[in-house]
Each structure stands twice: as C-alpha cells, then as structure tokens.
Amino acid sequence: MLKQIKGLHHVTSIASGAQENNAFFTKSLGLRRVKKTVNFDNPKLYHLYYGNEAGSPGTVITYFPNPNAKARQEGTGEVSVTRFSVPKGSILWWEQYFTESGITHLPRETTFGQAQLPFLGPDGENLALVEANEARAPWRTPSVPEGHAIRGFHSVELRLKDTGPTKDLLRFMGYETAGQEGNRTRLVCPAVSTANVIDLMEDPEAPAAQQGAGSVHHIAFSVETREDQMEVQKTLTEAGWAVTSVKDRDYFWAIYFRSPEGILFEVATNEPGFARDEDAAHLGEELRLPKQHEHLREELLENYLEPITEP
C-alpha cells in the first residue's frame, strides 16, 4: 500500500470559451488565476489554472478551453462532481449570491453530515460547495467576502458502473473507507486534512460518459517530492498499472495511468510550484509558454489563443 499520496493536487477539466471560463473562476468564484499558459501537448489551446494565493496543491482547478470542444455526455467512468470547501455557515451567503449573479444552483443538501450546495459552471459542469472546518487561507478578492471564500477542494465524486475495483485501487493508494450513504461510498486520505475526500457513486445502469466541454479531463493526486513520485510509479507498476514515464510539466512533475473504468489519474509533485517562472506577486498575469513552445508565441496569439479580457 502507498503512503506517499497526500490527497488531491489539482483537477483539470475541458471548457469551451476561455473568456467565460476565466471570468467565472476569477470574478464569480473569487479564485486567483495562478497561471496562464498553454496545453503542453497542444499549444494551440490555453491551459488556465485557478487556485488560492500560491496555487497550493489541493486548491487548483485547471482548464483546457477549446472553442471546438464537443458537447459532453454525462455517465459512468468520469468525475461527476468537483467540490470546493467553504467555511461553516457560508452556504446561505453563496446561495443568495448565485441567485443574484444568475449562476445556476440546485437545492441545498446534506451528504455525510455536511451541508452542500451544488451549482453549475459556465459549461454546465457539476460543481458544489461543501461546508467544512477549514484552516486554509483564501485568495482575497473584492468579489467574495473573505469569511465565505473558497478554501480549495473538498472532494471529487466518481460515477462508476461498479465501485469495487476503483475502491480497491484507492485503498491501495492510501485512502480509507469512511462511510456509505445509499449508493455512495466515501473514501478519505488520512495523510492530510484537506482535499482528502473521494466519493464513489455506483450507477450500474447509466451509459458510459463521453468527454466534452464541461467534463473533467483528469484528477491529479499529490506527492511531496520526486522521490515519492518514483516510489508511487514503481509500486503501481509492480501492481500491474500501466503508468507513464515522468513528464516535466514546468510547475510539477507528473505521471499518469487509467483507473479501472478509464478515468485518467495523475500523480503530481508539490515541487516546484507556480512561482518557478514568475514573481509570486504577479502569478498568472502574463502568458507563460513552455520553453519548447516559446518560438510559437506570436503565431499562437495571432491565430489560436483568444484574448482574455480581465473582468
């Protein structure tokens, strides 16, 4: 069993419009854009990162905006909800704020004893706020009062035909079963106290999901160091998982493999972080390009990357 995994590192999803996506996560939700760059494997697409002040692991939601992204089909074998954590007593404020701002939200609910407010992102993606005990500091912005602001991830929920094999994998990765409510199993990573929850929702009759705008592309688990990552890579490989080689993603190192129902899992290092190539006081303000794509800057800006007007 692995001991190096420290909960979620980031969640990466697909958007249609960069402008709408940026405005929603910065202005409406009050996150900081901590990096504006491009997809390593397809530099014609942006890669936008939003999180807390430093973009700490466990706070960062990232998007590949793609104007040609097709419509998604919800179903099994995907991340069905991405949930952010807010301080206790905040959800009523958010409910009113969403209503006033024209952001679609669903009725409040209680899951595993925690108040939860599901809402939709600009591509109809399923997001939620969960009230939790929080010591993490938020990014301070005029949009959202500090006492109610998002602290980072609470959890993700995976919708699966059969939760058994994924539960076994997560337990191998260091998660422990923490509860069961109806067809939902909660797993918690005891090594950390935040961004440490994964819910598995069993739905044997639903069709397989098809990825498109609003889908989660992958979730990344956190490890402290490259040495820890090598241990994870070795142990998973020995257990029969098809794990990739280590990729340098500039702000972290990454390895990838597919979970039993095909969800892309990444294991990313907490080092070196987003201040690697720009001043921590100005994270995310300028377009940063990976070295190998720097020569394409003018072409990308002229022909592919839509201008993002800051809200």
Q: Which residues bind Zn ion (CB under 5 A)?
A: 12, 220, 266
Q: Give the C-alpha separation, 65 to 69, whole Å.
A: 8
Amino acid, res. 99: T
How near is the Cβ of 198 to Zn ion at its closest, in Å?
16
User: Minimum Å distance from CB 41 to Zn ion?
Assistant: 11
The token pair at 186 is: 């909660």
For Zn ion, give the closer residue by CB, 13 or 194.
13
Q: How far is the CB of 213 from Zn ion (least distance, A)?
A: 18
What is the Cα–Cα distance from 47 to 13, expressed in whole angstroms?
Answer: 10
Nearer to Zn ion, 5 or 220 (CB): 220
CB-wise, 123 or 266, nearer to Zn ion?
A: 266
Q: Could you tell me which of 9, 10, 2, 11 has the C-alpha nearest to residue 171?
A: 2
> Between 201 and 220, whose beta carbon lies closer to Zn ion?
220
Shortest distance in whole angstroms from residue 12 CB to Zn ion: 5
3-class secondary structure, 240: coil
Q: Name the token pair of 118.
A: 């599901």
Give min distance, CB of 280 to Zn ion, in A: 21
Token pair recorded at residue 276? 């690697």
In contact, 50 and 33? CB cutoff 8 Å:
yes
E-assigned strand segments in the chain: 8-15, 32-39, 42-51, 60-65, 78-87, 109-111, 114-120, 126-132, 152-160, 176-181, 184-188, 197-202, 216-223, 247-248, 252-258, 264-272
Give, as one character, the DSSP assignment of residue 139.
P
- Residue 218's nearest CA partner among 185, 261, 256, 176 is 256
Q: Closer CB to Zn ion, residue 12 or residue 126?
A: 12
Q: Of 219 and 305, which has the nearer Cβ to Zn ion?
A: 219
Residue 127 or 268 having the CB closest to Zn ion? 268
Q: How far is the CB of 145 from Zn ion (least distance, A)?
A: 31
Would you give the DSSP letter of residue 1?
A: -
CB of 218 to Zn ion, least distance (A): 6
Q: How far is the CB of 285 from Zn ion (least distance, A)?
A: 22
**Closer of 129 and 220 to Zn ion (Cβ):** 220
Tokens of 306: 């839509």
The amino acid present at 97, given as its one-letter code, is: Y
For residue 70, the SS3 value is coil
